[in-house]
């Protein structure tokens, strides 16, 4: 299965907040022998969010959607998820229980009575209004749950909540997935340009099925100066063969210097 992540919020696109989700999802997947296939950033725009979620639901991929599941006017993800899935919204009974449990906990912490009919407490129940038939994602930070529709999973924008929830999903929903065998080998190349190296890159990919080549040029690296990080990635055994062929091809090119230092 492929894994994707959608990060929602104007604050990310404006620079008011820095995204911490993608790098954490990469880390959590890598620890389980998996890789992130794609990522999308979307502002608080209902048509854009709905279209992205519809595409995610149709993709068959495992998708983590981070942000916008609160109950303020700038939170649209729950409504967009329902629209994308063609489902009505309804207060989830388990979500209601968890939210009320959280409100009771807060009342005890503050030393005040719990008043379920108070307008602000009634409003908080909107955080449990999910597309009908959604499954609950437990939130160990404050009990306010996220939800899942198939393999698309909706968690808050707060990293302290979202990341343990994603980790729970990986272990409980996808713990059966076998690690994907993957390796990468690369060298630093000097004295050449990508256009010159392209025929060799094409040759390597054509010769070794399932191996992908990557080229990462740098023009102003503070230590290495102008260079190209050139490498291969894919199934470990094939990568070793392709890497040997890559080095041999580089050695045959006049004026090219390369090494792993």
Structure tokens at 84: 């994308």
Judge whether 99 and 93 are in contact, CB under 8 Å: no
Query: Which pLDDT belongs to residue 151?
Result: 98
pLDDT tens digit sequence for 73-128: 999 999 999 999 999 999 999 999 999 999 999 999 999 999 999 999 999 999 99
Tell me the whole-structure pTM to 2 decimals.
Answer: 0.88
* Residue in 215, 189, 191 with CA at minimum distance from that of residue 201: 215
* Sign, CA torsion 187/189/194/199: negative
Exposed/middle/buried for 63, CB within 10 Å: 0-12, 13-18, 19+? buried
**β strands within 22-168, DSSP E:** 36-42, 62-66, 89-91, 129-131, 135-137, 146-149, 152-155
Distance CA 201, CA 228 (A): 13
Distance CA 133, CA 150 (A): 10
pLDDT tens digit sequence for 103-112: 999 999 999 9
Structure tokens at 6: 């959608």
- How many helices and strands, by DSSP H and E, does the chain display? 9, 12
pLDDT tens digit sequence for 21-73: 999 999 999 999 999 999 999 999 999 999 999 999 999 999 999 999 999 99
Sketch out the chain's domains with CATH numbers.
3-172 (3.40.980.10), 183-259 (3.30.70.360)
Query: Which pLDDT belongs to residue 261?
Result: 62
Burial 170-179 (b: 16+ CB within 10 A, else e): beeeeeeeee
* Residue in 171, 164, 175, 148 with CA at minimum distance from that of residue 64: 148
């Amino acid at each position: 299965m492929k894994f994707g992540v959608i990060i929602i919020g104007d604050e990310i696109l404006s620079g008011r907040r820095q995204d911490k989700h993608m790098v954490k999802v990469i880390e959590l997947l890598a620890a389980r022998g998996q890789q992130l296939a794609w990522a999308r950033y979307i502002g608080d725009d209902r048509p854009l969010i709905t279209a992205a979620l519809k595409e995610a639901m149709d993709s068959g991929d495992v998708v983590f959607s981070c942000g916008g599941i609160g109950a303020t006017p700038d939170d649209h993800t729950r409504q967009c998820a329902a629209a994308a899935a063609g489902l009505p919204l309804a207060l989830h009974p388990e979500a209601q229980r968890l939210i009320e449990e959280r409100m009771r906990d807060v009342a005890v912490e503050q030393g005040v009575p719990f008043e379920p009919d108070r307008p602000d407490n009634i409003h908080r129940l909107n955080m449990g209004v999910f597309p009908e038939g959604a499954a609950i994602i437990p939130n160990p930070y404050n009990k306010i749950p996220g939800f899942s529709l198939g393999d698309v999973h909706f968690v808050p924008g707060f990293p302290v909540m979202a990341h343990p929830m994603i980790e729970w999903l990986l272990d409980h929903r996808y713990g059966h997935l076998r690690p994907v065998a993957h390796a990468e080998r690369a060298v630093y190349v000097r004295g050449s340009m990508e256009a010159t190296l392209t025929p060799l890159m094409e040759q390597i990919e054509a010769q070794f099925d399932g191996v992908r080549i990557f080229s990462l040029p740098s023009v102003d690296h503070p230590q290495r100066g102008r260079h190209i990080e050139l490498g291969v990635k894919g199934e470990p055994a094939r990568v070793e063969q392709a890497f040997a062929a890559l080095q041999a091809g580089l050695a045959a090119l006049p004026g090219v210097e390369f090494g792993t230092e």
